[in-house]
Structure 1
Amino acid sequence: MKKAMLTSALAATAAARSMPHFKRQSNSSTVQGFDVSGYQPNVNWDAAYNGGLRFVYIKATQSTDYTNPDFSSQYEGATNAGFIRGAYHFADGTVSASAQVSYFAQNGGGWSSDGITLPGMLDLEGDCIGVDWIQEFSDGYYNMYGVYPVLYSSPSWWEQCTGNSNAFVNTNPLFMACYDSTPCTPQGGWPYFTFWQYADSNTYGGDSDLFNGDYSQLQTLATNG
């Protein structure tokens, strides 16, 4: 997730961009969404929903010493507007994974089987983090909630930092970052991506995302993990 404030020029570019098209085995339906952080404190949630977006990931925490000061108001706004929503944690490989998953859980990253809460997402970008660290965070989250976190990364980061590990294919949904009009080949042996971040801007703020399935499948993810 980009840390810098998005400019109005970027937002205008995103608005003009046509939506990407792709096919997945046995499923070509998609749901539009976006992700935001503390750099977008004043999202017009009703406008975003009326504009066709249906899910959002909101940054909650980073490492063990940062909590998004706008998270609660953003989460409440998204909920009131009707979004399926979830929280994400920006990983810091220099600090214990167990400590970070606890910090995330204590500051908005929890999950419940209510049909509107997406499993927490682990944001993996920037400095490399190894497979063992990711596994510790993933297992810690699972032990708390009975679901595995969504893993966000670009194909290039995953290949460089994990050696293109396939350790998470059977447990964790993939949130693939690939800024193009067509999706990249999913990294790490995943047969498909669950979410795709296809642009680093959005008309309503943040980044533009797709869920690789229809709305009922998105609800299932928010119900069963």
Structure 2
Amino acid sequence: MPLSPTLNRLRAAVVLAAATVLTVAGLAVASPAQAQTGPAGIDVSNYQGAINWTSVRNAGIQWAYIKATEGTTYKDPRFNTNYPAAHAAGVIRGAYHFARPNSSGGAAQADYFASNGGAWSADNLTLPGAVDLEAPPSGAACYGLTTTQMRTWITDFYNRYKARTGRDVVIYTTASWWNSCTGSWTGMASKSPLWVAHWGASSPSLPAGWSSTTWTFWQYTATGSVSGIAGNVDRDHFNGTRDRLLALANNT
């Protein structure tokens, strides 16, 4: 979920760097072959620049998460272009929020997210919103919060987002960040779909509570390549069939 080169370097310290470069359907991606077995996805932000979403869809990308907000003051300047353009191209899209647990409460950030692109609609092409929980580009990895405080922050975000949208928020994280900053908390695994980041592995390492059969999305590289996007882009895999992906989008 690229925000800047600095953040990419930081995340590389907590997840494994991609080790093998393959060519799949003409796209050079750093990933294990297993990551190509389900509907292909990407996640993007302003960092990717202008995107040709028709080319992205024609390249076989079925879904995408698009950065909407951060904290309670920042809205991604390309979100208002990317979000409807992905929809128009037939890409099943969702919005994500980069969490800043040290700047304001979880409920306040969920409100900001839901009011600025993160809401959900039953239109066959919209995924539930996601909250990005990872170390910041600089500063304390756990934002100076105790494990108890972090659990409370996440719970408050989840509850407010559910109240606003009727959907369980998707949690994006790494096993190392989650287990360290929440104290290996298992309390969200029965509620939130998991979007796990783990690069260059044959299967992802999972945060406490989720299992090999219960993770939903897997970000398997930060150095993928897709037609319609200049430069590197995160590549992702959905753990299931397209029918199951549409069921998640439609809450069925």
TM-score (norm 1): 0.89
1:214 to 241, 246, 249: 241
Shift of 1:181: 3.6
Instruction: Confirm or deny: 8 A CA contact 2:168 2:192 kept in the other structure.
Output: yes
Question: SS at 1:73's partner residue?
Answer: helix
Residue identity over aligned pairs, in percent, reads 39
- In structure 1, what is the equivalent of residue 138 of structure 2? none
Which residue number corresponds to residue 4 of structure 2?
Answer: 4
Cα distance, 1:22 vs structure 2 = 4.2
Match of 2:66 in 1: 58
Residue 18 of structure 1: how far off its partner (Å): 6.5
**Structure 2 residue 107 is the aligned partner of structure 1 residue 98:** yes
Q: How does 1:24-43 map to 2 (within 5 A)?
A: 30-43=38-51
Deviation (angstroms), 1:184: 2.2
Which residue in 2 is equivalent to 1:124? 133
Deviates more, 1:205-214 or 1:60-69: 205-214
Return the alpha-carbon distance in structure 1 between the equivalents of residues 95 and 58 of structure 2. 22
Please list, as runs of the form range in 1=range in 2, the aligned pairs for 1:174-213 lying within 5 A after superposition: 174-191=194-211, 192-204=214-226, 205=229, 206-213=233-240
Letter in structure 2 aligned against 1:122 = V
Instruction: Give the match for residue 152 of structure 1.
Output: 172
Structure 2 gap segments, 5+ residues each: 9-17, 136-140
String of CA shifts for 1:151-190, please: whole Å, max 9, x gaps: 0001110111011111011110000000014122321221
Q: Distance in 2 between matches of 1:220 and 1:29?
A: 18
Aligned residue for 2:117, secondary structure, equals: coil
- TM-score normalized with structure 2 length: 0.80
Q: Residue type of the partner of 2:167?
A: V
Q: Which blocks of at least 5 consecutive residues in structure 1 are unaligned?
A: none
Structure 1 residues 4 and 133: alpha-carbon distance in aligned structure 2, compared to 1, 3 A threshold: same
1:86 to 2:64 alignment: no
Paired residues of 2:114 and 2:165 also in contact (CA < 8 A): no
Query: For 1:90 and 1:32, how far apart are their aligned partners in 2?
Result: 22
1:113 shift after superposition: 2.1
Q: Which of 113, 120, 127 is 1:111 aligned to? A: 120
Amino acid at match of 2:52: N
Number of residue pairs the alignment of both structures matches: 216
Per-residue CA deviation, residues 124-152 of structure 1 (Å, 9 max, x unaligned), is 01131611100100011111111110000
* Structure 1 residues 26-47: Cα deviation after superposition (integer angstroms, max 9, x where no partner): xx95110000001123112111
The answer on whether the counterparts of 1:29 and 1:214 sit within 8 Å (CA) in structure 2 is no
Q: Is the 8 A contact 1:41 1:74 kept in 2?
A: no
2: CA distance, partners of 1:179 / 1:210:
12
Shift in Å, 1:101: 0.7
Q: Which runs of 4+ in 1 moved over 3 A?
A: none
After superposition, give the CA deviation of every residue in 1:71-118 in whole Å (9 maximum; x if it has no partner): 011112111110000000000111111111111011100012222110
